[in-house]
Amino acid sequence: MLGVGDVPEFDVAEAFATRQPLSPKTSELSLVNEVILQGMRLSKSAGIPLSEILAAGYDLILMAEYYKDVTNTGWGYCPEHSPHLFYPYTNTCPRCIFHGEFHFTPGNKPGSGRIGERTRRLLCVYLQQIFLHLSKPLDVYLGSEPVDVMIHDPQKNCLLLAEVKASPLCTLPLATPTSRLTGKIDEEVMELPHQEIPNTSLSNENIFVLLPRMGDSSSWTIDLIDLGKMESDDSWAYDAFDRLLKGNVHFLKWFVDFWRSAFDAYSIRDTMNSVFWLTNGCGQPSPRPAHWPRRAGSGYESVSDGKTSVGMDRTDDIKKGIYQVLKLGVEGKLNTHEFDVKTALLSNVHAARHYEEYLASLQDIVWTWDPSGTVKKAGDFESDKSIYNLFDGILSFTRNVTRDEWIADNFNFK
C-alpha cells in the first residue's frame, strides 16, 4: 500500500541518528558566551529587550567569522582628512557616506558557497549557548538534506525540524590608517582620489573596526575601535572581540545602539539614515552620483544588491523555506512515533520587509492527510483525526510567531 509513511526519502529517526554535532571552537564559545552574558546584563540595565540584543550579537559573531577572510587586497583608499584604508562589506566607502558621498569600493562578502553554511552553524552554536544560559534543556544539531537543523528536547522527546535562512544585517568595515598618497595626473602632482589599493601593513599595524555612534546632536560620529594586530590564527577576530568586550564596558551598548538604528533603517528603507548604506540589501545609491560606475551588462552597480537581503527576508528564500517546512511536516510528522515532531522556519531576524505580504496570511495554516482525495470538510474524517500546523513556529530573535506551547516556552528571548 502506498502511503506517506512509505516515502523512502526522509525518515526522522534516521535523520536524528545521522545528526552532526556543532563542534564549536574554543574561541567561538568564548566570544558567544561573553556576548550572551553581557547581553543579559545590558538588557536589565538599559531596558533593551534581550531578543534585540541577541539579534545584534549574532551580527557581531558573524563579523568575527567574516574577518577570517581578510587579505591584503580588497581595501579602498579614502583621502578625506586623515587618510585611511577601509575594508567594506557594501560597495561604498564606509566613511564618506556619513557626509552623503558615495564612492564605489567593492565589498568583501564571503564567496557564494560559504555564506549559508557559516551562518547556519554559527546560529546553532549561538542558540545552543543561549539555551544553556536560559536553562532550557535543549540540544542543537546540524542535519543534512532536507533538514537544516534539529533541536531535541530529551526530557519531552520533542524534535524540532528547522529550515534555516540566516544572514547578517551588517558587517562593519575594518580600517587602518595610512599616509597621504600622491600621484601624477596629467604631469601634475596630485593627491590620489578614492581607489582600491593593497593593504601592505596588515601584518605589522593594528586593525580598527569602524563603529558609527549616535552623538548628542542626533548625527553619527565614527569611532575607529582598536582590534589589535591581525594574527595568522584565523580565530584572531573572535579573540579580538572577546578582549574588546571584556576591556570596554561600553562597547556592547554602543554596538547594540548602532545595530537597532541600522535595523530600523533597513526595515523601512530609510535612505536618509547614513548607516542604511552599511546594511545588506540597501540597493542603488540615491541620489546616484555622476561618477558611479555602470555594471558590465546593463544598469548600475548597487551599494548592496537588493537580493542580498537580511535574515529570511529574500523573497526567493521565503518561498523555498515554506516548501521545505511543508515537506518536513508531511514526511516527518505523519508516521513518526519516536519523536513529537515540530517544524519551523528559523532565522536570526524576521522578514522585516516581506513578512506581511509573504508570511502573515500563511502563519495560521493547518493541514492533514487525505489519500482518498474526496474529503470536503472536517466532519468527513473520523473525529480524532490529527491536524498539523504548517508552522509550529516562525522563529527569529526579532519576532516569533508560534502555534505550539513547547516552542513558545523555549523560544522566548524577551
Partner DNA sequence: CAGGCATCATTCCAACTGAC
Partner DNA sequence: GTCAGTTGGAATGATGCCTG
Q: Which of the ranges 252-260, 303-311, 332-340, 362-370 carries the binding residues for DNA, by CB under 7 A? A: 303-311
182 binds DNA, rule: CB under 7 A: no
User: Residue 180 forms beta bridges with which residues?
Assistant: none
For residue 242, give the H/E element and its range. Answer: helix 236-247
First to last CA, the chain: 48
- Contact by Cβ (8 Å): 34, 183: no
The bridge status of strand 393-395 relative to strand 206-214 is unpaired
CB 65 within 8 A of CB 168: no
Strand partners, 182: 191
Residues 104-123 that bind DNA (CB under 7 A): 109, 111-117, 119
Based on the shown chain and the rule CB under 7 A, indicate whether residue 171 belongs to the binding site for DNA. no
What is the closest distance, in whole angstroms, from the C-beta atom of residue 271 to DNA in the complex?
A: 9
Check residue 317 for interaction with DNA (CB under 7 A): yes
Check residue 157 for interaction with DNA (CB under 7 A). no
CB of 145 to DNA, least distance (A): 5
Rounded Cα–Cα distance for residues 170 and 179 (Å): 28
- Interface of this chain with DNA, residues 346 to 405, rule: CB under 7 A: 353-354
> How many helices (H) does the chain have, and how many strands (E)?
8, 16
- Counting beta carbons within 10 angstroms of the beta carbon of residue 271, is it exposed (0 to 12), middle (13 to 18) or buried (19 or more)? middle
**Candidate list 34, 52, 59, 148; residue touching DNA; CB under 7 A:** 148
- The minimum distance between CB 144 and DNA, in angstroms, equals 6
Closest distance of CB 99 from DNA, Å? 20
Rounded distance between C-alpha atoms, residue 227 and residue 172, angstroms: 13
Its sign, for the CA torsion 287, 289, 294, 295, is negative
Cβ proximity to DNA: between 41 and 288 the closer is 288
Stretch that binds DNA, among 49-57, 232-240, 313-321, 328-336 (CB under 7 A): 313-321
84 binds DNA (CB under 7 A): no
Under rule CB under 7 A, residue 83 binds DNA: no
Least Å distance, CB 272 to DNA, is 14
To DNA, the closest distance from the beta carbon of 63 in angstroms equals 15
Query: Residue 65 Cβ, how far from DNA at the closest point, in Å?
Result: 13
10 CB contacts (<8 Å, ≥6 apart)?
146, 147, 327, 328, 331, 332
Of 225, 227, 241, 231, residue with least CA distance to 203? 231
Nearest to DNA of 238, 292 (CB atom): 292
Site for DNA in 260-299 (CB under 7 A): 269, 283-284, 286, 288, 295-298
The residues binding DNA (CB under 7 A) are 109, 111-117, 119, 144-146, 148, 165, 167, 269, 283-284, 286, 288, 295-298, 305-308, 315-317, 319-320, 353-354
